[in-house]
Structure 1
């Protein structure tokens, strides 16, 4: 006799893997991702230098319809891109130069910005998880050392009840 299936836990992560073959397709992935996002969402991006984190965020900004060119905020740490319509602003953070956890990031007031914005944090693992249990983790992997290969393996994982019923398959379209 089979054991009964474990009850569904809405906190279980949902995950999708996507292969992206060019920078333009990475931007398009960002535009598709923007359709799933709403104010209060935290998106954590990780991947090697040059993997496509900022390119994905550029597409996200296009999809959200925000003002200003989305560029890497490495030296300013964070940029706010207000919405040109009725959508949420985009807060784009690059935590690469920040060594500590959330304590070091407190000056950015991300906890204040999060409820009304979409917050995207590059290099955020180990630094911003305490902001919310409900977040989207996007890991971008490329072959290190191969600068001619445009192929990226992207894993999108939704954590928490917010993402439990999300249809991530729209990202693979």
Structure 2
């Protein structure tokens, strides 16, 4: 997931919204860490579960990473209280557990669904399904596509 995050960072730009979904332990935070590494932001990128949102400024002149964990949020109104739209245009915003809560923030977004292995025999292998929504992603070569 970390390597995928680094690859995704290469195609992200300011204003992008990335929505991460998947079961607990599927690799959402690890993917966000890879995004942070790829974007060259100040870290460490850790799960913002208890603080809800963290801003990681760029160390290389690129966009900041706004990392949000919406697990404890119960409604789009609570997401609105975070004022994510205030930094949306100049940052890359990544929201864990955001499906059904943050789609109103941007018509264009990248949805990443992560799946853990169903059995121990499959080892640590994870599966990522990327879904690009909106015109921003037309013609963008996404990793694994």
- Give the CA RMSD over aligned residues: 1.6
| C-alpha separation in 1, matches of 2:104 and 2:5 | 24
Higher relative contact order (CA 8 A, sep 6+): 1
Alignment match of 2:16 (pick from 41, 49, 54): 41
Structure 1: 5+ residue runs without aligned partners? Answer: 1-25
Name the residue aligned to 1:129.
Answer: 103
Structure 2: 5+ residue runs without aligned partners? Answer: none
Alignment match of 1:80 (pick from 55, 61, 70): 55
1:153 equivalent to 2:127? Answer: yes
Question: What is the TM-score of this pair, normalised by structure 1?
Answer: 0.80
Matched residue count = 145
Name the residue aligned to 2:94.
Answer: 120
Question: What is the TM-score of this pair, normalised by structure 2?
Answer: 0.95
CA contact (8 A) 2:21 2:96 kept: yes
| C-alpha separation in 2, matches of 1:150 and 1:71 | 20
| C-alpha separation in 1, matches of 2:139 and 2:83 | 29
Indicate the SS of the match to 2:89.
Answer: helix
Name the residue aligned to 1:138.
Answer: 112
